[in-house]
Amino acid sequence: MPVFIPRKFREHRPNLTSYCQLCAARGLRKKMYKLRDGPTDRYFCNGECAGEYVDKRHSCVKVNAFLKLLPYERKCGPSS
């Protein structure tokens, strides 16, 4: 049976953060550059990162594999 939680008691998270899809820098979503790619939203530090991502995401297999890594894997290197 679902539990009803009044609106005033629901958790409010105004500071939603996200990682840049290219350089994995973290920031507030409302201050990041948003690029809609089909049904998904991709967030970037700025327009330069978004442009570089669009240019390089299909350029070669290595770049494509790098962009599929999670943000912590990009910063620390893939775990072995």
- For residue range 49-72, list pLDDT tens digits in order: 999 888 888 888 888 888 888 888
Domain ranges across the chain: 16-71
Q: Across the strands, what pairs with 40?
A: 37
Q: CA 54 from chain center: how many Å?
A: 14
Give CA 16 to chain center in angstroms: 11
Please report which confidence band the pLDDT of residue 80 belongs to, taking 50, 70 and 90 as the band edges. very low
